[in-house]
Chains A and B, each alone.
Chain A
Amino acid sequence: MRRCSTLIEAENVYFIYPNGVEALKGVSLRINDGEFVAIMGQNGAGKTTLVKHFVGLLKPTKGRVLVDGVDTRTVSVAQLARKVGFVFQNPDHQLFSETVEDEIAFALRNFGFDEKTVRERVDWALNLLDLTQYRKTSPFMLSGGERKRVALASVLAWDPKILILDEPTIGQDAYQKERLRHFIIQMNQQGKTVIIVTHDIEFVAECEPRVILMVNGRIIADGDAREVLTDTVAIKEASLVLPEITQVFMGLNDLGFSWKVLGVYEAKCLILERLRGVRI
């Protein structure tokens, strides 16, 4: 039996920004070691505010957050960062070095790795994200999609246990999204806990992680992608749109199909079964 230890725990977390906006209103959740979780909701639902608590960038106004058993209020962001890698939505909030290589090396040097390890890890991360050709280039000369990959590489280089990606698919084309999906699944299979914040419902439908829906600073649904993404009431409440294929099957409900369908292949099989009267 696989051991499921809790890695992140939020207990009744409230957060009020200095301007008085109450962004989290009593959020409780547990994320286990090795899980892959998508946190979804409309702009302003509190998704980014919540995950910023997981790396200690924000501390609860009320309630508490434990990361690997440690209360985030008792440790610095720098200490937490060793365990939790956070990749911002806008890479420009994160990048500042003169070359891509220096950017990736920066945090490694800060964490006190020796030069040999720094070089090895930089090479490894450049290669992993297909950035080797840009090692001497300024991050600011790159396209938005490439800058996002640099930001991701610089976080992965120090091998954090938990990887948090805020809106990783924005500005990425279909090919890059497909690569990102493989990459995330690979990281997750290697044992990393991966948390993505997104409203890209098609991307989530392809990854099928655990899905948490947020509305107005609260969690309104939490479960398997298939259950949550096809929950018409919750999706509507979260101001999201049902996955494309789910919508197709909603329209076939009269013919006795269930609409809890996410994938193209699955959809094809259901239609062929019906046509040929056999299970495929």
Chain B
Amino acid sequence: MAVIEARNLTYSYPFADKPAIEDINLAIERGEFVLLTGPSGCGKTTLCRCFNGLIPHFYGGKLEGEVWVAGLKTDEHPIHELAKHVGLVFQNPENQLFALTVEKDVAFGLENLGLPRDEIRRRVDWALKVTGIYDLKDRAPFELSGGQQQRVAIASILAMQPEIMVLDEPTSFLDPLSARSILETIYQLNRELGITIILIEHRLDLAARYADRIIVMDRGHIILDGEPRKIFLDDRIKLVGVGLPKVVRLYLALRDDNVNLKRVPLSPEEASRLIAEVLNSDRS
């Protein structure tokens, strides 16, 4: 069975006159890296709130259909139970951090689970090492750079050893180098630890290369769902506010002039290789 499944899911916030998401059917398999994108207000954050039970337990409102996460039907299990399976990382790490040291912040969730001391120590050290911030463990989170803070936020979720991590635009406050290295870390968690990743992200230029699958939402509906290169070639993506990476736009611009690269590039390095191939074959 899929690790996340939504069946005929429709949800309205309290007092809203129309649903925020409507008729969502979706199955995410264990170990997938899913990129969820779409214009502002399309319902992507709402959908993710359904995955960890914040909807309906915290937000209330009206939920129709079913959501299953790690075999649990979300409306029948409390948030703290779902949180063992699904970790949520926010856009702005400041909203998530509060302790006086990095180590205490990462340990907090585990203390709440009532784990034995040794186990807490072991998991905290592990999470700090995996995210590359072990050396910062005695520092105060609010003194750190945005990129480092986001690593602390990820480490504190990782320490809970969730099977699924949902990250809501985790790089948008970061400069490009920090953004890239955070995405590399998330990718590593996916490849090496098999954690299922659901990444909400506008910046497809940075994130598309890591994804197995892209889901595009618009006005509360899923409008596209598939492998990145296929999604980028679908004309419907241009109709919604989704920015195609420039390398994809270059691919399309060349295709308009009958220059066909072998496949859709997902990174500048790949684009250079594909263009060089065309130029070299032309010469021979």
Contact = CB atoms under 8 A, between A and B. Distances in A.
B253 A248 contact: no
Contact of A170 (B145, B172, B275, B276): B172
A30 interface: no
A247 B273 CA distance: 12
Contacts of A267: 250, 253
B119 interface: no
Contact of B176 (A171, A199, A255): A199
Is chain B's binding surface mostly helix, strand, loop or mixed? Answer: helix
A247 to B, nearest CB: 4
Contacts of A144: 40
Given A175-B39, A252-B276, A268-B253, A245 B246 contact: yes
B279 A268 contact: no
B118 interface: no
B135 interface: no
A247 B247 CA distance: 10
A275 B245 contact: no
B193 interface: no
A128 interface: no
B276 A247 contact: no
A272 interface: yes
B40 A240 contact: no
Interface in B252-284: 253-254, 257, 259, 268-269, 271-273, 275-276, 278-279, 282
Contact of A43 (B147, B169, B259): B147
Contacts of A241: 176-177, 180
B246 A244 contact: yes
A247 B268 contact: yes
A171 B90 CA distance: 13
Interface in B172-203: 172-178, 180, 202
A248 B145 CA distance: 30
A248 B177 contact: no
Contact of A245 (B39, B146, B250, B257): B250
B241 A275 contact: no
Interface in A20-61: 42-44
Nearest to B265: A248
10 contacts: A145-B40, A173-B40, A176-B241, A199-B176, A245-B246, A248-B272, A252-B272, A252-B279, A268-B250, A272-B259
Interface of B: 38-41, 91, 145-147, 169, 172-178, 180, 202, 205, 240-243, 245-247, 249-250, 253-254, 257, 259, 268-269, 271-273, 275-276, 278-279, 282
Closest A-B pairs by Cβ, 10 of them: A251-B272, A174-B243, A175-B241, A247-B268, A241-B176, A244-B246, A268-B253, A199-B175, A145-B40, A173-B241
